[in-house]
């Protein structure tokens, strides 16, 4: 953590606290600093003998993704830039499958909210097929102008989840502006979920830049905190 009460509690109990780097510009940039110590701890406790290998392979994949998404890669050759361009002024819906897809979808949603300062929503299979799918039954003339569905896929989906993606797309694709698919790359589960998240980090920043928005400040949250403090 970055300190605070959690660090105090750990110290009181004689535990180990791993501080996040103090120079992180925003809390959402701490993902790597939070994930890596957990896997190292699991490795040292003997609970995940392959954890170091997982981290190494994830680092390798993120390096490969960075080469594809960095600012000097133009046009369709840059997948993150292309996703941002296609989303444009529509509202993105991020759908993922299983625990990996759910984690990635929530991260993408939060990235768009905080970096691009734009609305976004997320859901996960199979849960969305029990409720949200019914919400596309009407107002298609409106929703197809407003929403872009972004499917976040990974190589560890159960076959039934893969079929759900396909079947659900057939039902709702006529009521959204477009359907985009982002496929994770990497040789392990950790590599693939971080690859999806990292692509979302890039895409949300490009979405911000496309609309002349600074991805750093979160003025609405600052304003909310000030309002809540004033009430105390």
Burial class of 192 by CB neighbour count within 10 A (0 to 12, 13 to 18, 19+): buried
Task: Give the integer Cα–Cα distance in Å for 180 and 107.
Answer: 17
Contacts 24+ apart (CB under 8 A), 21-26: 25/216, 26/114, 26/216, 26/218
Task: Give the integer Cα–Cα distance in Å for 203 and 221.
Answer: 22
Q: What does the CA dihedral 136, 137, 142, 143 come to, rounded to 10 degrees? A: 10
What pLDDT, in 10s, does the model give residues 28-63?
888 888 899 889 989 988 999 999 999 999 999 999
What pLDDT, in 10s, does the model give residues 85-109?
999 999 999 999 999 999 999 999 9
Q: SS3 for 123?
A: strand
The topology (CATH level 3) of 75-210 is Rossmann fold (3.40.50)
Task: Give the integer Cα–Cα distance in Å for 147 and 123.
Answer: 14
- Per-domain boundaries in the chain: 75-210
Confidence band of 17 (pLDDT split at 50, 70, 90): confident
Task: Give the integer Cα–Cα distance in Å for 83 and 202.
Answer: 10
In this model, does residue 232 exceed pLDDT 80? Answer: no
Q: pTM (2 decimals)?
A: 0.91
∠79-207-105 over CA atoms, to 5°? 70
Neighbours of 145 (CB within 10 A): 10
């Amino acid at each position: 953590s970055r300190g605070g009460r959690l660090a105090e509690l750990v110290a009181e109990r004689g535990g180990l606290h791993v501080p996040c780097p103090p120079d992180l510009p925003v809390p959402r940039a701490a993902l790597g600093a939070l994930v890596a110590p957990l896997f190292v701890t699991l490795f040292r406790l003997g609970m995940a003998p392959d954890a170091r290998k997982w981290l190494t392979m994830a680092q390798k994949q993120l390096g490969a993704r960075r080469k594809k998404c960095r600012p000097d890669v133009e046009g369709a050759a840059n997948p993150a830039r292309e996703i941002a361009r296609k989303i444009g002024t529509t509202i993105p819906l991020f759908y993922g499958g299983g625990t990996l897809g759910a984690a990635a979808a929530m991260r993408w949603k939060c990235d768009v909210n905080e970096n691009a300062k734009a609305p976004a929503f997320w859901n996960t299979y199979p849960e969305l097929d029990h409720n949200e799918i019914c919400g596309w039954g009407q107002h298609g003339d409106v929703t197809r102008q407003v929403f872009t569905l972004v499917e976040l896929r990974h190589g560890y989906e159960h076959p039934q989840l893969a079929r759900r993606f396909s079947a659900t797309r057939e039902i709702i694709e006529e009521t959204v502006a477009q359907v985009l698919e982002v496929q994770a790359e990497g040789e392990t589960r950790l590599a693939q979920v971080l690859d999806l998240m990292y692509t979302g980090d890039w895409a949300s920043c490009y979405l911000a830049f496309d609309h002349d928005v600074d991805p750093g400040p979160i003025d609405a949250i600052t304003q909310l905190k000030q309002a809540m403090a004033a009430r105390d």
